[in-house]
Structure 1
Amino acid sequence: MTYITLAKSDAEIERCFAIIQALRPHLIASEFVSRIKRQEQQGYQLAYLEDEASIKAVAGFRIAESLSWGKFLYVDDLVTQESDRSQGYGTNLLNWLLDYAKANACEQLHLDSGVQRFAAHRFYFKQRLEIRAYHFAINLIQ
């Protein structure tokens, strides 16, 4: 049975680590739960899709508001277990995020994707997402 839910307990958050680490390899397992808990204080939430007692896809997101976008859901992290890609898990999780955004009166959904992530871009285009801006950044700590 497939279902999507928010990771609330430390154990649920911990179960999401292996999937998130595929997208964020710099993360350290022993620090993961505390990092998620800190981010939750700023509105971050972690959702996961589970099928046959195994987590297949994970999304980290937050709801915010800005002058440019109004109220929006921002997807910080969206990843499907590599061996489970192209089986509909990512689509199901993204559709859940869209429904969650609508249920919370968001006007838009936004995410950034690294310029090198061509397979992810194909997925986003297939899901009707559009490129609307460039994202600029500078490292402050070297």
Structure 2
Amino acid sequence: MKPIVKKMRSDLEIMSTFNTFKQLRPHLTEEDFLEKINRLEKNNGFHLVAVLENNEVKAVAGYRITESLARGKYFYVDDLITNESSRRQGYASVIWDWLVTQAKLEGCEQLHLDSGVHRHDAHRFYLKAGLDISCHHFQMSL
């Protein structure tokens, strides 16, 4: 069966992505995951999508569409994770192509994402996919 990209909306669909999300976001807990996703959807316009093949989650992404004075209307990818057992099988490209197409369909002027400095495999993928390193992102824990 060919992989498909699906917006994950029901509680069961959202929870089916938890184990993949946990691989990138180890601080997440299963008990709070659904509540956090629902809150992000309601308050921040967050969307959760997954690549499914044979009803198995192969990759997930979280994104939102927003606007700023600096960027205009833009598509922000909060999370992009391929399940560890499914890496190097083309699923990242499947979800990436869907995200880029969706950003264009939504009339976004740009697509943005941040990636941890230690994620070298991800950086290679992003550069190959046509992204540029356009800024440094700074943070401070409070």
Please tell me the residue identity of whatever aligns with 1:50. L
Q: 1:131 pairs with 127, 130, 133, which one?
A: 133
Deviation at 1:59, TM superposition (A): 0.1
Q: Distance in 2 between matches of 1:73 and 1:126?
A: 19
Confirm whether residue 14 of structure 1 aligns to residue 15 of structure 2. Answer: yes
Please tell me the residue identity of whatever aligns with 2:55. A
Relative to the length of structure 2, the TM-score reads 0.97
Matches within 5 A, 1:30-49: 30-41=31-42, 42-49=44-51
Q: Distance in 2 between matches of 1:55 and 1:133?
A: 32
Matches within 5 A, 1:61-80: 61-80=63-82
Task: Name the SS for the 2:61 alignment partner.
Answer: strand
Identity of aligned residues (%): 48
Please tell me the residue identity of whatever aligns with 1:134. H
Runs (5+) with no aligned partner, structure 2:
none
Compute the RMSD of aligned alpha carbons. Answer: 0.6
Q: Distance in 2 between matches of 1:25 and 1:77?
A: 13
Task: Name the SS for the 2:49 alignment partner.
Answer: strand
Deviation at 1:53, TM superposition (A): 1.7
Relative to the length of structure 1, the TM-score reads 0.97
Runs (5+) with no aligned partner, structure 1:
none
